Every structure is written in structure tokens, then in C-alpha cells.
């Protein structure tokens, strides 16, 4: 039975910070960001847009009434959780009106967890072939004003519907994971921003890639020539480019090397404009590749490298299905260009606003631009979400 990704949705914030403006404000050379990190802009969320609203908007783009009836598992992958107890997917279940007899859970392991979620979806559909699974990867990457990671922030969500006989990509069931206990990036419960050992984290990313890729090739009896594209977790595109260089052998023939380099450029088009979206970053790269490559075709196989600090990494591959192009959106860069540009001062206020709760646990917010869903208020410590289209109607 073929199992895989049937549809992909993506949402991000309505506000954008230009990297040139950030560079000038921080006294950095703009080329450090545009060439050194290969970033042009960062998606900035206001307080009324969080992992739930981003995730619901991404899923709402792709869900149909038939999906609402058939989805029996919702997995929400995030490291920007809004609750220590209740799973984010329960909010999604209600906001998207999914049939009641579904399992809703949240998964965490830094930027890696969506990869485990996809594998769980694969196993679930293998056991229950009529099931559909909704996987959401949604995060807000926030490091702090003037912090070392400030230039690699971002926000966004990817949503997948998985089923048998999918219309975009099928799993090849060749996953290989690696775990190593390291402190490269972590966020204790008492901190709203992570602690990061920046350079060390980039070294761990690249070493995890090198060692997992070597073992993957040994176990699968495959090499780079078996793959038509390679997608990487993209904390910032320059690191993913270093990743690509690690997996390209020096004696690779120029045609294949050219193809992988072209596909790599297509895979970073969205991240350049959005920044790091943690759990969804690898999959934003995959979506960007599918929607911006002129040369991919059905039957092509794509290798994926997932990395979550702490750290867990994984390599696996998927193969493109005949007609996959019909499931894509080709105007996504135009949509990104429609975000409202904000100044550095506005970004500092908007991105770092905290809810001011009264004694009963109530808070109201200014009206900000969001996608199709918004956090309207906090009432007695409960987050109240609304569908903004329903309010307008």
C-alpha cells in the first residue's frame, strides 16, 4: 500500500521585518544577513497570532468535508507550546470541525518532532488504511531583542493531510534517526526564549547530518545519485547550503551536482522570506522546492534531513506521485510579498508584547492583522480563538 502526503498547507504572519532594516538598527553589515545567513526577511507575529491560529489557518487551506469525516488522528508538532497540559491539536479539532472520534496529541523535540509525527501517521494509516491523518508543525522562533539569534527568528505553520494513495509524495520507509544528548539549544519551562550555544549548534547540525547520512547510505545501499533533490532543516538557508556541500561527494558528475544545486535554490525561496519556523522549517523547504522547481517530475525521489536541537536528527526519502503539481499553489511568493512591512521599533513592540492578565485571568488585545483565525482574548485563563471570517460575515 502506498502511503504519504496528500495535501500541504502553509500559513505565516501578516507582518514582515526586512533584514536590511534589522542590520542597520543593529549596526551590522546588511550583507552579513543577505549573504552570510542568506535571509531577506522574517515573519513577525502579533500577540493575537500564535501556534494555534497559524496551524488552524494552514490546515484550513487544505481540509475538505470528506477529510473532516475521515481524519481520526491529529498530531501537533511544536516547541512553542501554549499549555503544559492540553494538546494544541484539541483546539484545532474544534476550530476545523473534525468528527469527534479522533485522537488528538502534541509532540515535542525541538525542530524535529514533525518528522516523528509523519512517521506515526504512516504507521497509523498502515494499520487503518481508510484513515486520514492531519499533521501540523507550528512554531514561533523568538530569541530576544539584541540576542545572537535575533537575525534567525520567524513564525509559521505547515499542515499535511496524509492518506493511502496520496497525491503528492509517498514514503519510502527508509527512515534512520540519531539521538545525542547535547546542550546546543534548549528552553527551560521558566524562560520565554531559548538558551543557545550558536556556533556549537551549527557544528552539531552538520556533524549529525554527516554521520546520519553515512549510516543511511550504508544501511540502504544508496548514494547521492539515487536522489533528485535533498531538503534540509533550515534554521537559516546558509546552514542548509553547508549541509548540501557535506552530502555532495567531490567526484559527483557535474550534471547531477547542477540538478541538486538548482533544487536546493528552489527549496530555500520561502525560508529566505520567512525565517526559521522550527518544526515546520524542513517542510517549508520541501514545499518551496515543489512549488519553485522547474525540473522536478513524478517519480523523482527527495531525501530529507530533519534536525532538532538537543538533539535528534533523521534522514528519510519520499517519491513524487504522478500529477503532484495539481496539489500545489504557485502564487505563494506573491502572498508573502503582501505582508505588511514593519519598522524595527514596531517589530520590537509587536513580537515581544506579553498578555497583561487581571486578577481573574482576563486579558484583551489590540486589533492586529492575523490569518483566518485569531486569539481574541484570554478569559479566566482560557485562550479564546475565533474564525475571523465568521466575525466579518
Cite the active site residues: 79, 111, 233
Which one among 20, 61, 81, 202 touches ligand HMG, defined by CB under 6 A?
202
**Residue 307 is a binding residue for ligand HMG (CB under 6 A):** yes
**Residue 263 is a binding residue for ligand HMG (CB under 6 A):** no
CB of 281 to ligand HMG, least distance (A): 6
Q: Closer to ligand HMG at the Cβ: 175 or 204?
A: 204
**Residue 148 is a binding residue for ligand HMG (CB under 6 A):** yes
Close Cβ partners of 48 (under 8 Å, ≥ 6 residues apart):
365, 367, 368, 370, 374, 375, 376
CA within 13 Å, CB half, 17 = 28
- Measured distance CA(238)–CA(232) in Å, rounded: 11
Find the part of the chain contacting ligand HMG (CB under 6 A) among 19-27, 128-136, 192-200, 323-331. 192-200
Within 36-167, strands assigned E span 41-44, 71-77, 103-107, 132-141, 154-164
Q: Closer to ligand HMG at the Cβ: 151 or 370?
A: 151
- b/e 336-360 (16+ beta carbons within 10 angstroms → b): beebeebeeeebbebbeeeeeeeee
Within 287-353, strands assigned E span 301-308, 312-320, 340-342
- Measured distance CA(223)–CA(315) in Å, rounded: 13
**Residue 11 is a binding residue for ligand HMG (CB under 6 A):** no
Q: Closer to ligand HMG at the Cβ: 24 or 123?
A: 24
Instruction: Compute how many other C-beta atoms are within 10 angstroms of the C-beta atom of residue 28.
Output: 14
Which one among 15, 76, 91, 205 touches ligand HMG, defined by CB under 6 A?
205
For the annotated binding site for (3S)-3-hydroxy-3-methylglutaryl-CoA, the residues are: 29, 143, 242, 276
Contacts with ligand HMG by CB under 6 A lie at: 29, 31-32, 35-37, 79, 110-111, 148-149, 151-152, 184-185, 196, 198-199, 201-202, 205, 233, 235-236, 238-239, 276, 278, 307-309
Amino acid at each position: 500500500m502506498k502511503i504519504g502526503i496528500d495535501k500541504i498547507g502553509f500559513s505565516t504572519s501578516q507582518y514582515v521585518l526586512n533584514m536590511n532594516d534589522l542590520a542597520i538598527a543593529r549596526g551590522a553589515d546588511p550583507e552579513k544577513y543577505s549573504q552570510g545567513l542568506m535571509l531577506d526577511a522574517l515573519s513577525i507575529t502579533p500577540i493575537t497570532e500564535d501556534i494555534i491560529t497559524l496551524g488552524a489557518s494552514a490546515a484550513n487551506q487544505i481540509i475538505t468535508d470528506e477529510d473532516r469525516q475521515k481524519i481520526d488522528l491529529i498530531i501537533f508538532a511544536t516547541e512553542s507550546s501554549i499549555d503544559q497540559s492540553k494538546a494544541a491539536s484539541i483546539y484545532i479539532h474544534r476550530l476545523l470541525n473534525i468528527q469527534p472520534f479522533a485522537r488528538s496529541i502534541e509532540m515535542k523535540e525541538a525542530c524535529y518532532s514533525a518528522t516523528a509525527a509523519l512517521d506515526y501517521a504512516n504507521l497509523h494509516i498502515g494499520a487503518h488504511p481508510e484513515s486520514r491523518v492531519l499533521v501540523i508543525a507550528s512554531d514561533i522562533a523568538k530569541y530576544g531583542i539584541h540576542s545572537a539569534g535575533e537575525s534567525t527568528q520567524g513564525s509559521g505553520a505547515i499542515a499535511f493531510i496524509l492518506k493511502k494513495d496520496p497525491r503528492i509524495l509517498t514514503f519510502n520507509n527508509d527512515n534512520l534517526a540519531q539521538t545525542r544528548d547535547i546542550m546546543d539549544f534548549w528552553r527551560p519551562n521558566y524562560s520565554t526564549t531559548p538558551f543557545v550555544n550558536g556556533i556549537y549548534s551549527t557544528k552539531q547540525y552538520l556533524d549529525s547530518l554527516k554521520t546520519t547520512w553515512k549510516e543511511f547510505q550504508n544501511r540502504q545501499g544508496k548514494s547521492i545519485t539515487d536522489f533528485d533533490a535533498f531538503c534540509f532543516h533550515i534554521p537559516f538557508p546558509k546552514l542548509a547550503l553547508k549541509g548540501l556541500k557535506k552530502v555532495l561527494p567531490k567526484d559527483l558528475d557535474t550534471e547531477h551536482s547542477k540538478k541538486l544545486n538548482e533544487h536546493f535554490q528552489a527549496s530555500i525561496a520561502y525560508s529566505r522570506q520567512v525565517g526559521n519556523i522550527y518544526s515546520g522549517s524542513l517542510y517549508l523547504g520541501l514545499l518551496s522546492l515543489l512549488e519553485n522547481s522547474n525540473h522536478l517530475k513524478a517519480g523523482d525521489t527527495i531525501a530529507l534531513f530533519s534536525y532538532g536541537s538537543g538533539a535528534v536528527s533523521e534522514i528519510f526519502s519520499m517519491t513524487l506521485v504522478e500529477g503532484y503539481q495539481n496539489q500545489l499553489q504557485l502564487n505563494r511568493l506573491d502572498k508573502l510579498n503582501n505582508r505588511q512591512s514593519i519598522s524595527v521599533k514596531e517589530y520590537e513592540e509587536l513580537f515581544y508584547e506579553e498578555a497583561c492578565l487581571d486578577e481573574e485571568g482576563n486579558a484583551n488585545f489590540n486589533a492586529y492583522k492575523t490569518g483566518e483565525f485569531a486569539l481574541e482574548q484570554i478569559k479566566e485563563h482560557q485562550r479564546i480563538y475565533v474564525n475571523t471570517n465568521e466575525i466579518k460575515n
